[in-house]
Amino acid sequence: MSQVEESVEVDVPVRTAYKQWTQFESFPHFMEGVERIEQRTDTMTHWVTKIGGVTKEFEAKITEQIPDERVAWTTLGGEAKHAGVVTFHRLADAKTKVMLRLDYDPEGFAENLGDKLGFVKRQVASDLKRFKDYIEDRGRETGSWRGEV
């Protein structure tokens, strides 16, 4: 099992950053390699990714969701094995630190090589930067879900 921890500071309030992060279907706008996400229930999402020409589909379950604080998930079966948590930290009224921790299990030669070369770490950092640009350019979230899991 490998692990990545990255963070980014965004110039929006915690509530705005959190509410945007709960809009899983918008992830393809800022997560490279994410083709589509369907939110099937309050706690279940279906993902389609394409990285390095390889398409994978999997289900992810939200295991914990506390408004304005954290969202945690784990995959269930499918073609990818990972779990993670994203947390939101107020730095100022309109400044938030978004921290992401991802635990993943690379499979096969190519994924293990990519892991050793730091591909996943760079990908997560780039995705968080694109999230920053996405939410700051908009200035507001595209929707929200305030429920707790």
The pTM assigned to this predicted structure is 0.93
* Residue scoring higher pLDDT (53 or 135): 135
Residue 96 bridge partners (DSSP) = 10, 90
Q: Would you state the pLDDT for residue 18?
A: 96
Q: Would you state the pLDDT for residue 1?
A: 85
Question: Which three-class secondary structure state does DSSP give residue 84?
Answer: strand
Q: Would you state the pLDDT for residue 48?
A: 96
Q: Give the model's confidence band at 129: pLDDT under 50 very low, under 70 low, under 90 confident, else very high.
A: very high
Domain ranges, ordered by start, for the chain: 2-21+62-138
Average pLDDT over residues 89-111: 95
CATH superfamily label, 2-21+62-138? START domain (3.30.530.20)
Average pLDDT over residues 113-120: 91
Residue type, 73: W
Question: What is the chain's mean pLDDT, rounded?
Answer: 94
Q: Among the residues of 6-118, which ranges form H helices?
A: 14-21, 108-116
CB atoms within 10 A of CB 44: 14
Predicted confidence (pLDDT) at residue 139 exceeds the cutoff of 90: no
Average pLDDT over residues 96-124: 93
CB 134 within 8 A of CB 19: no
Q: Would you state the pLDDT for residue 95?
A: 98
Q: Would you state the pLDDT for residue 142?
A: 86
What are the pLDDT digits (tens) for 10-37?
999 999 999 999 999 999 999 999 999 9
CB 106 within 8 A of CB 114: yes
